[in-house]
Structure 1
Amino acid sequence: MASWNVEFLQPQDASAIKPNRALVILNQPFSEGLFHRLWNSSKWHCCADGGANRLFDTLTPSQRPLFLPDFIKGDLDSIRNDVKEFYISRGVPVVEDPDQDSTDLMKCVSAIRDKEVREQAEYDIILLGGLSGRLDQTVHTLSYLHKLRKTRKHVFAVTDDNVGWVLDTGEHTIHIDHSVLGPTCGLLPVGIASTVLSTTGLRWNLTDHESSFDGLVSTSNHFLPNEPSVWIKTSNAIWWTAELRACT
């Protein structure tokens, strides 16, 4: 039974000791409120190429020196010169990786793997972005996290509207923080032919029900207000998504 929670979406004390979480900032828009929650809940921070532009533009000039990423990596075709010069001048490593067979996101995950080897540790990964904007980039996020489930325990994608992750074959308990999630959620059979789903804790539960793009897709389901968790059993890997309440 795998257990999941989204405690990283709760307001955090910036000075608190952080668990092993790595935040990857992608080149997509995000609110300052969401940014602060994810930054403060993460121990290590990196930008995927143009994600550095997003970080720079979200912050005021006085804030920027207070939120320096540990790393910027990509093919560097998107980062602006003024942004690159700012971070280099403050000692942030800006690493060019010209490999065209990997995306900027994949390059950052590779850097996290190298860090884990050095530290003999394992990090949960939170992507800021990845589920909005260009459809091809969204599909890449869906595909890449689908693959990562084979080698990593916890990888989350977060936008101002949604949080999502892949549930692998088996049973899962998702602890629902109603202050940050809901009311809607969904189970999406992306990257698979079909799966058989059973659930409890939702308004419209499923019992051994096949789900596929040619059949049923459980979208716009709802959490039950007094239920602290959702149980899901799936015969194949499936995407779980939940609506995210506005972060102030």
Structure 2
Amino acid sequence: MPTIWNTSSFLSAASNSSTESSKALIVLNLPITKPEIFYRVWRSCQIRYCADGGANRLYDFFDSDKERRQFLPDLIKGDLDSLRSDVRSWYEQAGVRVVEDPDQYSTDLMKCISSIQAHEKAISANLDIILFGGLTGRLDQTIHTLHYLHKLRTERDKVWVVSDDEVAWCLDAGEHEIPIDHGILGPTCGILPLGVTDAVISTKGLRWDVENWETSFSTQISTSNQLVSTEPVVKITTNRPVWWNVAIQDLAVSK
């Protein structure tokens, strides 16, 4: 059976915390510049954490305290070397739990994942995870995000990374189906063999489909491919883990 990856569960205008599977959001330390994407992802999640300086980004995104109180995270966690003192004070006064974890062998992202795992144990349920940010900014931090999610693929069902202009996730070896809402996604997309020496992939539903196509960083990679407007589903088969990314269109703000 193929694995189904439905981005509409958190990118659709109708998405909310009761839509399909339960989700957890981690806001990373990168600017939030596309309001509608942020609002849709936030609404779709049951719990919302900020990884250290991600709280600064959440705070600065809003113009008023009234708005900020409508978007309070459940937790701010990290070594707190990036969290501004004024932001920490404001959220603590608003009742948000702030946890300092000085462990230098784990990143702020890893610390938040650990707290999600503890929450899952407490509620006896598994959550899909959405990272907001992580695909822009410093290259080493972007690579860390990809590296860590590559490792998590064997432990968790679904972990997504959403940025201002795309959504990406790791496809493990096997068959995958990606329902496409052409009013939200596209047109560009790519399949990258990150974390493996090579992979053999087959696709259906793309402008330039491939069959048993060998891909690696030393030979050829699939970038700047395109969705086909008449195809409702993209199908991908791979013998090794690969990264799939697809553009998010400009969405009208509805809050």
Alignment TM-score, normalising by the size of structure 1:
0.97
Q: State the partner residue of 2:37.
A: 34
Deviations 1:171-193 (A, max 9, x none): 10111111110001000011100
Contact 2:23–2:129, Cα closer than 8 Å, also in 1? yes
Per the alignment, residue 246 of structure 1 pairs with 250
> Is it true that 1:227 corresponds to 2:221 in the alignment?
no
Question: Aligned-pair distance for 1:66?
Answer: 1.1
Which whole-Å CA distance do the structure 1 matches of 2:48 and 2:63 have between them? 18
Contact 2:173–2:241 under 8 Å retained in 1: yes
Match of 2:58 among 55, 62, 76: 55
Q: Match for residue 92 of structure 1?
A: 96
Per-residue CA shift, 1:182-231, capped at 9, x if unaligned? 00100001110000011111110111110000111000001000100011
1:58-89 CA-partner distances (Å, limit 9, x unpaired):
01212011111000000000010010000100
- The aligned amino acid for 2:137 is G
2:72 is the alignment partner of 1:68: yes
Q: Tell me the residue number matched to 1:127.
A: 131
Partner residue of 1:146?
150
Mapped to 2, the partners of 1:127 and 1:48 lie a distance apart of: 10
CA distance in 1, matches of 2:14, 2:47: 15
**Deviates most, 116-125 or 30-39:** 30-39
Report the residue type matching 1:173 in the other structure.
E
| Distance in structure 2 (CA, Å) of the matches to 1:222 and 1:98 | 44
Q: CA deviation at 1:13?
A: 6.5
AA paired with 2:46?
Answer: K
1:21 maps to a residue whose letter is: K
Match of 1:6 in 2: 7
Paired amino acid for 1:145: L
- Could you give the per-residue CA deviations for residues 10-63 of structure 1, whole angstroms, max 9, x where no partner exists? 11476x635410010000012222211111111110100000000000012120
Structure-2 residue corresponding to 1:101: 105
Q: 1:160 aligns with which of 157, 164, 178?
A: 164
Kept in 1: contact 2:201–2:212 (CA 8 A): yes
User: TM-score, normalization: structure 2?
Assistant: 0.95
Which amino acid in structure 2 is aligned with residue 227 of structure 1?
E
The aligned amino acid for 1:77 is D
Partner of 2:46: 43
Q: Identity rate of aligned residues, in percent? A: 51
Instruction: Tell me, yes or no, if the aligned pair for 1:202 and 1:230 is still in contact at 8 Å.
Output: yes
1:181 aligns with 185
- Is this contact kept in 1: 2:15–2:40, CA < 8 A? no
Q: Which 4+ residue blocks in structure 1 deviate beyond 3 angstroms?
A: 16-19
Counterpart code for 1:52: A
CA contact (8 A) 1:12 1:40 kept: no
Alpha-carbon RMSD across the aligned residues, in angstroms, is 1.1
- Hey, what's the Cα distance between the residues in 2 that align with 1:241 and 1:157? 9
Distance across 1 between alignment mates of 2:229 and 2:15: 27
Contact 1:160–1:246 (8 Å) recurs in 2: no
Report if the CA contact (8 A) 1:47-1:71 is conserved: yes
